[in-house]
């Protein structure tokens, strides 16, 4: 299937989970992201969504998600509307179904950053325009598209590489499992007992991996996960909404810190990723995140380009 056929296939679709997309569709998104990044760097206009509007619903606060979507829509020639929970009726009891029905008649696409994955699915079910998952407690697909773009830029490929996840089996870990499986990357996730990734996500990712030759490994041993890894990834130990667990998690995750001793087992030319914000001295040492292997700010920038590609293909 060529690029034009895939573009037609993606038009009008929702992005709820990377599990819903074929390897070819994900590759097309990454190809367009790279092209749009080059155009933006060269000052070439690329108003693929001229005159179109994206509604951005934020029930969780954000820096990177809000700025990257808002700037992305501007660069694509469109307009983005920021809607916090306090700004819309959803925060005062209007159902998600009704919100979707109404907003879908005003705008050309909706991005939502919220808590429950079921809320995003319900919004998409009752809305006639594309819905993009900007983050839920279960999944974070847009972040992982940026991660894949970053790995591809620095490694020249995805298939056959090994990615190590160290830390909580959270939404980023879940979406990384899908992203790696779909693109032929091997993923090994090291998480403490009680903080392992969701069994259903792991099973679904292994189904995806069977089609591409990738492997999905879950372990409690960080050294095992990092051994020979081309990419090492971590995240904060206590995500948004888990602040009350911070002290307990500090002791549970202490041996999961990404530091020089742990990364000594990775490939010599490994790259380090973190979706940010980061807590230096907790999940990662300053030596690593500010060191020569770190590409976290390239990764942050690529949120803009990967999401522009998503919006252009789904809303175009």
Sole residue written with tokens 């594309």: 130
Residue 241 has pLDDT above 80, yes or no: no
Average pLDDT, the chain: 95
Is there a single domain that holds both residue 171 and residue 269?
Answer: yes
Query: Which pLDDT score is estimated for 92?
Result: 67
**Same-domain check for residues 193 and 101:** no
13 catalytically annotated: no
Mean pLDDT over 202-226 rounds to 98
108/191 same-domain check: no
Q: How many CA atoms within 13 Å lie on the side-chain side of 143?
A: 30
In this structure, the answer to whether residues 185 and 266 fall within a common structural domain is yes
What residue numbers bound the domain in which 247 lies? 143-299
Contacts (Cβ under 8 Å, ≥6 apart) of 309: 29, 30, 32, 33, 36, 145
Q: At 86, which CATH number? A: 3.40.50.1370
What lies within 8 Å, CB to CB, of 240 at 6+ separation is: 60, 61
Which residue of the set 208, 235, 257, 305 is catalytic?
235
| Active-site choice (249, 293, 303, 305) | 303
Residue among 153, 162, 158, 150 at smallest CA distance from 190: 162
Residues 153 and 134 in one domain: no
Of 13, 19, 66, 113, the active-site residue reads 113
The per-residue b/e assignment along 34-73, b for 16 or more CB within 10 angstroms, e otherwise, is bbbbeebeeeeebebbeebbbbbbbbbeeebbbebbbbbb
Position 263 scores a pLDDT of 98
pTM (2 decimals)?
Answer: 0.97
Q: In what order do the strands lie in the sheet with 162-166?
A: 216-219, 186-190, 162-166, 231-234, 271-274
In this structure, are 14 and 135 located in the same domain? Answer: yes
Collect all residues with Cβ–Cβ distance below 8 Å to 197 and sequence separation of at least 6. 169, 170, 173, 174, 177, 189, 191, 218
What are the pLDDT digits (tens) for 36-94? 999 999 999 999 999 999 999 999 888 899 999 999 999 999 999 999 877 777 656 78
Say whether both 11 and 118 belong to one domain. Answer: yes
Q: What is the per-residue pLDDT across 215-239, written as a single tens digit (0 to 9) for each?
A: 999 999 999 999 999 999 999 998 7
Question: How much is the average pLDDT of 143-170?
Answer: 98
- Whether residue 303 lies in the annotated active site: yes
Q: Answer yes or no: 127 catalytic.
A: no
Q: Is 305 a catalytic residue?
A: no
* Catalytic residue of the set 127, 173, 191, 275: 275
Q: Quote the pLDDT of residue 48.
A: 98
Which of these is catalytic: 75, 143, 257, 307? 143
Specify whether 235 is catalytic: yes
Q: Which of 31-40, 127-136, 205-214, 234-243 has the lowest mean pLDDT?
A: 234-243
Q: What is the DSSP string of 217-237?
A: EEES-HHHHHTT-SEEEE--S
pLDDT at 3: 80
105 shares a domain with 147: no
Which residue of the set 19, 64, 140, 293 is catalytic? 140
Report the number of distinct structural domains present in the chain: 2
Tell whether 294 and 149 lie within a shared domain. yes
The answer on 125 and 149 residing in a single domain is: no
Per-residue DSSP letter, 136: -
If asked whether residues 257 and 133 sit together in one domain, one would say no
Q: Do residues 199 and 221 share a domain?
A: yes
């Amino acid at each position: 299937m060529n690029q034009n056929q895939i573009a037609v296939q993606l038009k009008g679709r929702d992005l709820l989970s990377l599990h819903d997309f074929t390897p070819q569709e994900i590759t097309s998104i990454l190809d367009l992201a790279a092209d749009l990044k080059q155009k933006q760097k060269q000052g070439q206009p690329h108003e693929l969504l001229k005159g179109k509007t994206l509604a951005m619903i934020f029930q969780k606060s954000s820096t990177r998600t809000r700025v990257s979507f808002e700037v992305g829509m501007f660069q694509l020639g469109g307009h983005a509307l920021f809607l916090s929970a306090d700004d819309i009726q959803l925060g005062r009891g209007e159902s998600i179904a009704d919100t979707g029905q109404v907003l879908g008649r005003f705008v050309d696409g909706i991005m939502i950053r919220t808590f429950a994955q079921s809320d995003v699915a319900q919004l998409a079910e009752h809305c006639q325009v594309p819905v993009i998952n900007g983050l839920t407690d279960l999944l974070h697909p847009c972040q992982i598209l940026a991660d894949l773009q970053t790995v591809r830029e620095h490694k020249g490929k995805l298939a056959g590489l090994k990615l190590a996840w160290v830390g909580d089996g959270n939404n980023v870990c879940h979406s990384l499992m899908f992203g790696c499986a779909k693109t032929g990357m091997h993923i090994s996730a090291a998480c403490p007992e009680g903080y392992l990734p969701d069994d259903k996500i792991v099973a679904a990712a292994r189904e995806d991996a069977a089609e591409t030759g990738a492997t999905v490994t879950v372990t409690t041993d960080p050294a095992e996960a990092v051994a020979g890894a081309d990419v090492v990834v971590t995240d904060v130990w206590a995500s948004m909404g888990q602040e009350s667990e911070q002290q307990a998690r500090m002791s549970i995750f202490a041996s999961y810190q990404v530091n020089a001793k742990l990364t000594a087992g990775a490939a010599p030319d490994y790259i380090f990723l973190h979706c940010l914000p980061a807590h230096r001295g907790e999940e990662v040492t300053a030596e690593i995140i500010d060191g020569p292997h770190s590409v976290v700010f390239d990764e942050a920038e690529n949120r803009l380009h990967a999401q522009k590609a998503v919006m252009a293909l789904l809303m175009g």
